[in-house]
Structure 1
Amino acid sequence: MTVSMYRLSVPVFIRGLNMLSTLLEKAEAHAAENGIEPGIMLNSRLAPDMLSLCGQVQRASDTSKNALGRLTPKPAPSLPDTEATFAELGARIEKTVAYLETISERDLQGSETRAVNLAVGSLDVTFTGIDYLLEFAVPNFFFHVTTAYDILRHDGVAIGKRDYLGPFS
């Protein structure tokens, strides 16, 4: 049995984004129940040189949508990083998932051998599609999702591993 580029990407990213959305809902409820100004949580970070919770959610969104934009003929939507509320972050996730849901198995056919050049900052590397997906896009996506989870845990939100893993089908 072969595993397709579609199966390795679209459902994985959608599941992770849906789980992240649920975590944000729990964080918003935690803030309300404990009289915490939401902006404090949204701007919280694990270390001074790391992105805030908002930044982590934005990068998880960017990583997933841009990965599929690079691997398919369907360009990723541009989403400015202007979110400043839980509702706005939730809307960003919804827009990202809606884009991912437009990607079909057919759109990804042959993408495993497509050349993907990634030039960001001092990084300038060309991957094959499969290497880009498995060595950069998926790990980068989960770095930001995990860091968002860690920020929320650090800020006292009652979430655990089952929340991170999400429901199973």
Structure 2
Amino acid sequence: MSVSMYQATVPVFIRGLRVVSNLLEKAQSHVEEAGIVPEIVLGAQLAPDMLDLTAQVQRASDTSKLSIERLSGVAAPRFEDNEVSFEQLQERIANTIAYIDSINAGQLAGSAQREVVLNWSDEGKKFSGDDYLLSFALPNFYFHVTLIHAILRNNGVVIGKLDFLGPYD
């Protein structure tokens, strides 16, 4: 069975972002029930040299929407990375999902062969669309989703593997 670039992107990113949204809901409930100052959890890091929870959510949002932009050619919304609350992070996730959900299969047609260039250096890193998706975009997205889960677990939020995997429809 062949999977289209649409099937490998839009529903995958939306599902992952919904997982992030559910994790944030559980984190907010934990903070409220335990009387924890929200900024403590929002600013929590897994290690001193890693980004905090808020930045991990921002990166999951950016990775998903910019991956879709690079593959479809449809400009993604830009966010200022100024979220300071669970509510603002939820709004960012909802806006990211709305953009991704607006992309149709036709807009991703031919994207497996589209050249994607990431400008990490003067010469940049060039990928075909399918190599970009499979070797960079999806691993990077799930890296951030995994860190969100790990930071929350490390801060006492009662979540497990099924929360990371999300619901199966």
With structure 1 as the length reference, what TM-score do the two structures score?
0.97
Counterpart in the other structure of 1:16: 16
Rounded Cα–Cα distance in structure 1 between residues aligned with 2:30 and 2:122: 39
2:131 aligned partner: 131
Equivalent residue for 1:77? Answer: 77
Q: Which moved more, 1:119-128 or 1:130-139?
A: 119-128
* Offset of residue 98 of structure 1: 0.1
Distance 1:18 1:121, change over 3 A: farther
Q: Residue 111 of structure 1 aligns to a residue in which SS?
A: coil
Aligned counterpart, 1:95 = 95
The residue aligned with 2:168 is: 168
Q: Distance in 2 between matches of 1:102 and 1:8?
A: 15
Name the counterpart of 2:110. Answer: 110
Partners of 2:39 and 2:83 in 1: CA distance: 11
Amino acid at match of 1:24: L
1:44 partnered with 2:44: yes
Task: Give deviations 1:66-122, integer Å, cap 9, x for gaps.
Answer: 001011121111011000100000000000000001111100000000000001368
Percent identical: 53
Q: 1:40 to 1:123 in 2, by over 3 A?
A: farther
* Number of residue pairs matched by the alignment: 169
Q: Which residue of 1 is the match for residue 55 of structure 2?
A: 55
CA RMSD of aligned residues (A): 1.2
Question: What runs of 5+ residues in structure 1 fail to find an aligned partner?
Answer: none
1:88 aligns to what SS in structure 2?
Answer: helix
Distance 1:53 1:6, change over 3 A: same
Query: Matched residues in 2 for 1:110 and 1:7: separation?
Result: 13
Letter of the aligned partner of 2:48 in structure 1? P
Deviations 1:95-154 (A, max 9, x none): 000000111110000000000000136893100000000000000000000001000000
Determine the C-alpha separation between the residues in 1 that align with 2:50 and 2:69.
Answer: 26
- The residue type paired with residue 157 of structure 2 is V
Counterpart CA distance in 1 for 2:136 and 2:61 is 15
Gaps of 5+ in 2: none
Q: Can you list the C-alpha shifts for 1:3-52, whole angstroms capped at 9, x where unaligned?
A: 00011111000000001100000000000111100000000001111000
Aligned partner of 1:154 in structure 2 is: 154
Letter in 2 for 1:95: N
